[in-house]
Structures are given as C-alpha cells and as structure tokens.
Structure 1
C-alpha cells in the first residue's frame, strides 16, 4: 500500500503558519495562510496561538525525524513523504532579472514607452502627472527654496494648437519648457533665482519610434546654481489621430546633473507601446 498522502493542503514545512498544496507526488507553488483551529468557548486567543505553535512544532519534528532516520545517506528528495506529512519544499533558483528585458516607463495616453536608464526612477512624490521619470533623490533648491531634482523627463500631448509641424512646435515649446524648469515654478517662486541667459546648443530632425520628429536644446544660465539643459522634442503620437507629443528634458548642469548623453539615449529608446516601430 502506498504511504504517499493524497493531494490536498498540508502544513508548509518551510513556513509553519501557512499551508501548501501537495499534488500527490510533489509540492506545488500554491500556498495559503493556515486556518486557525476552532477554539472552544472560553479558550481565548491564547489557546488558539498555543495550538498553532504546537502544530508547527509537530510538523517540524516529524520532518526532521524523517531526515535523521533515513538510510544509506539518501537526501530528502530520495525519500517518499511520511504519511500525512509531504516532503519538504525544494527551493527553485531565483529568476535572472535580465531575462525580463530592460525596464521601461509607459505613457499610455500617447502609446509610447521610455527606457528607464541607470540612476533614473519612476516619479515618486511628484505633483505633475505627466512626469515620466526623474533622477534619484532630491536636493534643496538654491534659490527660493523648496525641493529640486537633478533631472526630469516629461511627456505631454499637444492640444492647444492646430499646428502639426514638429519643428515649429519644438521651437515654440522650448521657451516655455525652460521657464517652467528654471525661471518660475507653478506657484510663482524662483527655485533657481530666475533665468539670466540661454543659448541654443542643438536642434534638428530626429527619428523617434520610426516617426519624423524635431528637437531644440538650450543651455540655460540661472542666477542661483549651475543652471542646466532643457530640450523640447516633438513627434507624432503612435496612437489615435497621431496628435503631436512633446517630450521635455530638464537636466541640471554641473557634476551632480545627469549625463547629457542620457537625452539622446532616452530619445533613441522611445518605442510604441508593445514594442516594435511605429508606421511612419
């Protein structure tokens, strides 16, 4: 007669306060919290805890005894489970994080994803809902105070105009992008003391997710702090009617700012949702 217990829920040898499903031959990945035993009237919570602890000790003792009394030096995997007590769970190897592919951030509204580079994180404690990612950590703004971040990537749909030319829209947006980032914040404060000057350090046509786009990049000098780089990138959306999307990059200058090359790396890694390349 086989001594292997039938399929069912049994005390989990690796976690005494939960149960694991035994399929009749091996443990499965399915687990659940162990139900509390019935407590007679007047028994109180202390009796329930004592019963649970006693059951856990009993299971552990039975499993340990099976291991110690085994013959011919066979390991746990070589012995069938004792009646009513399935064999210990065998740990499976940890999954390789690289197998899931690179991390991305999704802009569902515009149907695109952004690569999440090293030292960049998904937005936390950020008021604007169109911020796709930020650099790690914050610092005290050098001007009017408040909390600043060394890098931001923002994605928005262009809706306030009928203009569709990426070049025209990028050239229009860059001034507002610089002002929002380094001149005045939404409540009128000047976290960097205001913008003193700017110069264009890059512009031109660029392919984004298989679509023709255009970017303009400024180097901004501020009254307080090292200033920074601001870029407006515009290209047609990969969903709907193809409304233009503007992606703003805000990178502090100086040693603490993110590498300027990250702007290009992020742009090159923008993809339509679901991967692949959008139709032009």
Structure 2
C-alpha cells in the first residue's frame, strides 16, 4: 500500500536537475535549484578486502539507480477539467510501500538555516521567515494549513458554535490569478480575507454572524524582505462580538518563479485582541530564508500610496 508524500521540495519528475514543490496533493509551479548535498566520508579498505569492496560498490550503484527510479517514477493522476474529454496527467513523488525495503522514498531537501530558530516561523514554499513575537505561537490544531502563527489558546465563538482565536496570520502563494501587481492583488484580496476571517469559516459556519460593515484603515506601499509590496487594512464590524482588523499584504517571493505572496492578518478588536502594531512588526521582520543579517527585511515605506 503506497503512502502520499508530505509537502516539500522534491526532484522535478519532468526535469530532475531542479527541485519542485509538492503541496501534498499535486505539483505546483514553484521550482528552485537543488541544494548540493555533502559527500559522505568513506573508510579506506583493509588489505584483502577487494571482494567486499566490489560488493559495496555494486550495492551503492544499485541503490542510486533505485533512488533515481523512485524519484522520477510516480503514480499518474488524471483529472477532468469539467470541459469535456481533456485530462491532465501529473506524477507524484513516489513513496515506497512499508514492506518494500528496496525502494527508498524521496526525501525533501535539507532544512534551511532558519529552520531550527525558535524565534522565527519558516515558510519554505515562499522562501520567507516570520518573526515569532511575544504573544504568538506556531499553529496548533488549525485546519488551514497555510496558517503560519496564531495567538495562544481559543475561545467560544460568539456566533455559531465553534472555537475562535484572537489573532491569525496566514501565508499563501497567489496561484489562481494572473495578477502581477502587488497593489492590485492586495486590493482584490482584502474582501476575501475579511470574509474568511469574520464571515464564514472553513465549514461554512458564521462564528461572528457575518460582517455588517467595514472601513479602510490604512493602505500603502511597503518593502517586504527587500521586495516592493503593498498592503490594505480594514476594520470590520460583525453581527456579534467586537469585530476585528484584517490586512492583505502582497509582495513577490524571492525564490522559484517569484510568484506573488499574500499574507493575511486577522486580529480581533477589543482588549482581548493582539496589538494592532504587531501587523507592522511582523511585516518588518519578514526575511528571505537564509538572510541571517536581516538586510533584505527592510519593512519600511518605499513610496507614496497609489
């Protein structure tokens, strides 16, 4: 019985010289140059061990061939576009059956320099890290896999039954649009961001009985991880509860095809919500993965709002 591999960077089955992002279901358009692995050290052979040395060489060659076959061979997934007979074929990273010891599964590339830093959250897909401020934690028991951090704990939603959080930060790649302008993308995304936070949740419940009104709080250009971005911030009033603040922040990724990244902030208003200044602090602290000096995370205004 085969297992679906977890999200990560794998050798691109259509072009094995680069790595491609597998989101756990399908291949995305994100590609990058593979990291160069270090060569393992080998012990010199002792005299008279020629036979065992040749056996080890054969085993290594066989293992390498099996690994390459496992990477470039995958199950073919056919999807119906809903428009007729046309179907698209995709290959998935092959994962060995638990009983098949001779076919090792491919593994994601090595962890980034920031992966073990407890003060940051790594978004490997988009090549960025987020500062983990006081009062925030990595997501726990969160249904949306794009969530990068939340405020600790939950509370009973004031509307439909369920558990709510006072603050959420979500990071995703803008793949369902041809938009190339961060300003246009942020302006077009803010309504969806507000709806997903305070109108309907993932199971179509209404934890705050919907949004009754909104107003623009702030908008403008901003540098994010050394890239020109744009943000739009709303304050929303809800049917029940204190309402909240929602922001859509758009900027180009620094990796792969440099697709636009959308970061969504949703902070409850009132005394229990996180400080609104955390939106700016998190934005200012976004870095490119591996940027230890912090030169790329300017986070300051780079021009007038347009």
- Please report the TM-score for the alignment, with normalisation by the length of structure 2: 0.57
Which runs of structure 1 show a deviation greater than 3 angstroms over 4 or more consecutive aligned residues? Answer: 276-280
The answer on whether the counterparts of 1:102 and 1:115 sit within 8 Å (CA) in structure 2 is no
Q: Is 2:279 aligned against 1:263?
A: yes
Question: Matched residues in 2 for 1:102 and 1:266: separation?
Answer: 15
Question: Matched residues in 2 for 1:145 and 1:264: separation?
Answer: 32
Q: Is 2:127 aligned against 1:115?
A: no
CA shift, 1:216, in A, is: 0.1
Q: Is 2:159 aligned against 1:143?
A: yes
Q: Is 2:254 aligned against 1:235?
A: no
Residue of structure 1 equivalent to 2:121 = 105
Question: Matched residues in 2 for 1:217 and 1:223: separation?
Answer: 20
CA shift, 1:218, in A, is: 0.2
- Counting only pairs closer than 5 Å after superposition, residues 61-72 of structure 1 correspond to structure 2 as none
Greater C-alpha radius of gyration: 1
Structure number with higher helix proportion: 1
2:195 corresponds, among 179, 184, 187, to 179
Instruction: From the superposition, tell whether residues 268 and 164 of structure 1 become closer, same or farther in structure 2 (CA, over 3 Å).
Output: same
Structure 2 unaligned regions, length at least 5: 1-115, 299-306
The answer on whether the counterparts of 1:237 and 1:244 sit within 8 Å (CA) in structure 2 is yes
- Counting only pairs closer than 5 Å after superposition, residues 35-74 of structure 1 correspond to structure 2 as none
Question: Matched residues in 2 for 1:139 and 1:169: separation?
Answer: 32
Count of residues in correspondence between the two structures:
181
Structure 1 unaligned regions, length at least 5: 1-99
Q: Is 2:179 aligned against 1:159?
A: no
SS at match of 2:213: strand
Cα displacement string for residues 93-140 of structure 1 (whole angstroms, at most 9, x for unaligned residues): xxxxxxx97700000000000000001000000011110000011000
Q: Is 2:233 aligned against 1:194?
A: no
Cα displacement string for residues 215-246 of structure 1 (whole angstroms, at most 9, x for unaligned residues): 00000000100000000000000101210000
Question: Matched residues in 2 for 1:177 and 1:208: separation?
Answer: 19
Instruction: From the superposition, tell whether residues 279 and 133 of structure 1 become closer, same or farther in structure 2 (CA, over 3 Å).
Output: closer
Instruction: From the superposition, tell whether residues 101 and 239 of structure 1 become closer, same or farther in structure 2 (CA, over 3 Å).
Output: closer
SS at match of 1:120: coil
The answer on whether the counterparts of 1:238 and 1:278 sit within 8 Å (CA) in structure 2 is no
Question: Matched residues in 1 for 2:169 and 2:283: separation?
Answer: 11
Instruction: From the superposition, tell whether residues 235 and 226 of structure 1 become closer, same or farther in structure 2 (CA, over 3 Å).
Output: same
Question: Matched residues in 1 for 2:202 and 2:148: separation?
Answer: 18
The answer on whether the counterparts of 1:182 and 1:191 sit within 8 Å (CA) in structure 2 is yes
Question: Matched residues in 1 for 2:279 and 2:118: separation?
Answer: 17
The answer on whether the counterparts of 2:286 and 2:297 sit within 8 Å (CA) in structure 1 is no
Instruction: From the superposition, tell whether residues 159 and 202 of structure 1 become closer, same or farther in structure 2 (CA, over 3 Å).
Output: same
Q: Is 2:135 aligned against 1:131?
A: no
Question: Matched residues in 2 for 1:279 and 1:114: separation?
Answer: 10
2:186 corresponds, among 152, 165, 170, to 170
- Please report the TM-score for the alignment, with normalisation by the length of structure 1: 0.63
Question: Matched residues in 2 for 1:102 and 1:217: separation?
Answer: 29
Question: Matched residues in 1 for 2:148 and 2:295: separation?
Answer: 20
RMSD: 1.7
CA shift, 1:161, in A, is: 1.0
